[in-house]
Amino acid sequence: MKRYDVIVVGGGPAGLFAAGFAARRGAQVLLLEKNARCGAKLLITGKGRCNVTHSEDDPRKFAEFFGRNGRALLTALYAFGVKEVVAFFEEQGVALTVERGGRIFPQSGEARDVQRALESFARDAGVELRTSCTVKQPLIEDGRVQALETSAGLFSAGNVVLATGGLSYPETGCTGDGYAWAAASGHRLVPAEPALVPVHLRESWTAEVSHFNLRNVRVTLTVEGKKVDERFGEAFFTSTGIGGPIILDMSSRIREALKQGKVKLLLDLKPAVAIELFDKRLQRELAEHSNQDFGNSLGSLLPRDMIPVFLRLVGIDPRKKCHSVTRTERQRLLKLFKELELEVTGCEGFRRAIITSGGVSLQDIDMRSMRSRQVANLFFAGEMIDLDGPTGGFNLQECWSTGYLAGINAAIA
Ligand SMILES: Cc1cc2nc3c(=O)[nH]c(=O)nc-3n(C[C@H](O)[C@H](O)[C@H](O)COP(=O)(O)OP(=O)(O)OC[C@H]3O[C@@H](n4cnc5c(N)ncnc54)[C@H](O)[C@@H]3O)c2cc1C
């Protein structure tokens, strides 16, 4: 049985980083990945554009995005934070660009460039990449991983890094294998939940308008009529409801709210204009189209595909002349623009979750080195740890930072 200094399980962003940096420190490293290629999930990140990190480069402020567990990330962020990630990708030939909301993407707009750069980084550092190799289980004795049982036989190493990801988007190879191994070797698990998910709505018309973005909208979350959250930004309708960054970021709150009562989202399509001013705008539009059919008067206010839906929802005969639209009818129209009511019926599960919340408890990891507190030569990195941030590049940054820290520490014999 060939023995390595370090074996990394999982060829996602966290695993590739851990393996590459362990090898750069002089360790002999093997990376085992069950898919035919590394980074299957990376390819679908950021709608195929990969939001690699976020421009907030102050580690303390960055950590706050991870809620109460965020402080645990500080050592990793100080060791390899946003600035280092940006420099790393530039060094690998992937130029980056900062977009709206501080989201950082490759200039090429191609997640594939990030995936390729990571793979060559690991190879160039000397990592032996073994794909199509499934780890079945770590064999643990005397508080140490003695070997890894895999579909290609047994492998052993001085140190082992687990970076097998969570449970979201299982078709990318993420089936929570690492959670079971961690639990079996005495680590506490915080129950895994799908996080950053789109939500289902009672309204079926969303399917008709599921192809365009709702940019700069405001969404207010209410439970039993009481406002509990509000977000401004980008969303989009889906065939079964609504998704997009602001909805994903609110989804944990929505899941909670569903346990408390009737949950509604109020969508403001024109948040920059106060309701009274927008009413004036409607009056002007109706006056300008005074002798035209109401059905032809909404062109400057709505994307074309949305108009038939609005006409149905507002309940005004589209052949009615604009000058005969009554005040009550106009008020109904105003409400659609400023407070479009959507009833939430549920949240998506792991199948369409951007990440998994929960995972290996921080209490069982020394977050200054990513070393397990239960198994002496075991390290953790990436999504499988109990840390989850909002959309915007935060979750990949967590992978880069924890992957780096696990890698350099695992490289120490
Ligand atoms: C649709 C989508 C879009 C996203 N967009 C963004 C974004 O733009 N920005 C952002 O910051 N985050 C984004 N994320 C989240 C981000 O992709 C994850 O946080 C990140 O991929 C987690 O990396 P990881 O290395 O921990 O795990 P993963 O990327 O899940 O990699 C784990 C790897 O381990 C392998 N593996 C698992 N079990 C075994 C085993 N038994 N043997 C061998 N190999 C195994 C898997 O095949 C997989 O390749 C997105 C997620 C999704 C689903």
Atom of ligand 1 nearest to the CA of 54: 11
226-237 and 213-223 beta bridge pairing: antiparallel
402 lines ligand 1 (CB under 6 A): no
Q: Answer yes or no: is the C-beta of 216 below 6 A from any ligand 1 atom.
A: no
CB contact set of 277 (below 8 Å; sequence gap of 6+): none
Q: What is the DSSP letter of 383?
A: G
344 Ramachandran zone, left/alpha/beta (phi>0; psi -120 to 50): beta
Q: For helices 82-91 and 394-410, what crossing angle results, to 10°?
A: 80
Q: Does the CB atom of residue 10 touch ligand 1 within 6 A?
A: yes
Q: What pLDDT score was predicted for residue 173?
A: 86
Residue 134 alpha carbon to ligand 1 centre in Å: 16
Phi, psi of 281, rounded to the nearest 5 degrees:
-60, -40
Which residues are 54's β-sheet partners? 103
> Which residues on neighbouring strands pair with residue 98, listed in sequence order?
104
Residue closest by Cα to atom 41 of ligand 1: 135
| pTM for the predicted model, two decimal places | 0.94
- Determine the distance separating the centroid of ligand 1 and the alpha carbon of 15, expressed in angstroms: 10
State both tokens at 202.
């009672």
Query: What pairing do the DSSP bridges indicate for beta strands 153-162 and 3-9?
Result: parallel
Q: Is the CB of 146 under 6 A from ligand 1?
A: no
- Residue 254 sits at φ, ψ, to 5 deg, of -65, -40
Closest ligand 1 atom, residue 396 Cα? 11
Quote the tokens at residue 293: 């059919």
Cα 243 to ligand 1 centroid, rounded to whole Å: 20
> How much distance in Å is there from the Cα of 45 to the middle of ligand 1?
9
385 lines ligand 1 (CB under 6 A): no
| C-beta 14 within 6 A of ligand 1 | yes
Interstrand relation of 29-32 and 128-130 (parallel, antiparallel or unpaired): parallel
Domain formed by 3-193+357-410, architecture = 3-Layer(bba) Sandwich (3.50)
Q: What is the distance between the alpha carbons of residues 184 and 137, in angstroms, rounded to a whole number?
A: 10
Beta strand ranges found along 207-312 (DSSP E): 213-223, 226-237, 241-243, 263-268
Position in ligand 1 atom list of the atom nearest CA 164: 34
CB of 11 sitting under 6 A from ligand 1: yes
**pLDDT averaged over every residue in the chain:** 96
- The reported pLDDT for the residue numbered 212 is 75
With a 6 A CB cut-off, is 244 part of the ligand 1 pocket? no
CA of 172 to the centre of ligand 1 (A): 8
**Short-list 201, 190, 140, 148, CA closest to 167:** 190
Q: Which helix (H) or strand (E) holds 158?
A: strand 153-162
- The full set of domain ranges for the chain reads 3-193+357-410, 198-348
The answer to whether the CB of 15 is under 6 A from ligand 1 is yes
Residues of the chain with pLDDT under 50: none
Distance 396 CA to ligand 1 centre (A): 9
Cβ partners under 8 Å of residue 329, min gap 6 = 314, 315, 316
Q: How far is the CA of 43 from the centre of ligand 1 (A)?
A: 10
User: Three-state DSSP class for 384?
Assistant: helix
- 43 within ligand 1 shell (Cβ under 6 A): no
Q: Which two tokens stand for residue 239?
A: 């065939």
CA distance 196 to 388: 9
Q: Are 386 and 359 in contact (CB under 8 A)?
A: yes
The Å distance, Cα 136 to ligand 1 centre, comes to: 19
**Is the CB of 194 within 6 Å of ligand 1?**
no
Instruction: Report d(CA 367, CA 83) in Å as an integer.
Output: 20
Residue type, 62: F
Does residue 344 contact residue 172 with C-beta atoms inside 8 Å? no
